[in-house]
Amino acid sequence: MFYKTVILIIGIVLLLQTLVFAQMRIEVEGISPGEDPVAIVNGELLKEGDKIGEYTVQKIEKERVVFKLGDKVVAKEMKAKKPKSAQKEQEISLPVVKLDDGVEWNNKDNTAKIILKGGVANATDLIVSSKENLTVIYRSCNNSAIDVVRELKAQEVLPNGDKRYIVEHFFTKTSPWMSIEIHKNGEMIKDLTRTFYGNVYKSVPNDRYRE
C-alpha cells in the first residue's frame, strides 16, 4: 500500500509539471554549460537567478534547466535535436553587403546597421549602429556538436555613438558556422540577425542550425 501511494504521488507530481509547462509553452532551446552557464528559453538568454514569467531559473544543467515557482521545483529538458535529414529550411538567406574588410547589413527600416569585420578565415570585430538599446548574442558550436551561446559586451563606444564588440570566431571544420543574433527586450530581431557558414561572406538561413 505504501509503495502504491508513493507511485501515485510521483505520478501526480509529473502530471502537474507537464501541465505547468504545457500552459507556459516553455522550451529550452539551447544550453551553454560552464562556470557561468546560460540557457536560451523561449528565445530569451537566461542565467541562473533570472526570471521568465513567474518562474525563476534555479539551476542550469548540461541537458536541462530547473525552474522554481514558489515552493514548486520543475525541470525542463533541452529540446531534442532533429537529424539533419529531417530539418527544413523555413527561411531564406538574408542579404549582406560585402566590404573590403567584412560585411554590413541593415534592418528593414534602416534604423540600425551592423558591420562585421573579418574575411574567409575568421570574424573579428562587430560594430552596432543604433539609437536603441540592443543586445548582441554570439552563437556557434564546438566540435560540431556542443552549442556555444554567449552574450557579447561592448568593448567601447565610438565617438559617433556606435558600439564595438569583439567576436573572435575562427571558421574551422569543427566550428564551421556562427550567428550574430540581435535582441531587443529579450526578443530576437530577425531582420538584424545573420548566420554565416565557412566565412563572413556566406550568409545562410538563420534557422539552419536552430532546432
pLDDT band at 85 (very low <50, low <70, confident <90, very high): very low
Q: What is the CATH number of domain 93-204?
A: 2.60.40
Query: Alpha-carbon distance 205 to 91, whole Å?
Result: 5
Q: What is the total residue count of the chain?
A: 211
Predicted confidence at residue 68, as pLDDT, reads 86
Query: Alpha-carbon distance 114 to 129, whole Å?
Result: 6
CATH architecture type of domain 2-77 = Roll (2.30)
Predicted confidence at residue 84, as pLDDT, reads 46
Q: Which of 8-17, 39-48, 68-77, 85-94 has the least mean pLDDT?
A: 85-94
Tell me the mean pLDDT in the region 161-180.
Answer: 91
Q: How many CA atoms lie within 13 A of 158 on its CB side?
A: 10
Taking 50 as the threshold, does the pLDDT of residue 97 lie above it? yes
Q: Which of 139-148, 172-181, 195-204 has the least mean pLDDT?
A: 139-148
The mean predicted confidence, pLDDT, of the chain is: 81
Residue with cell 509547462: 21
Cell of 126: 562587430
Would you kindly state where each structural domain of the chain is located, as residue ranges?
Answer: 2-77, 93-204
Phi, psi of 37, deg, nearest 5: -65, 150
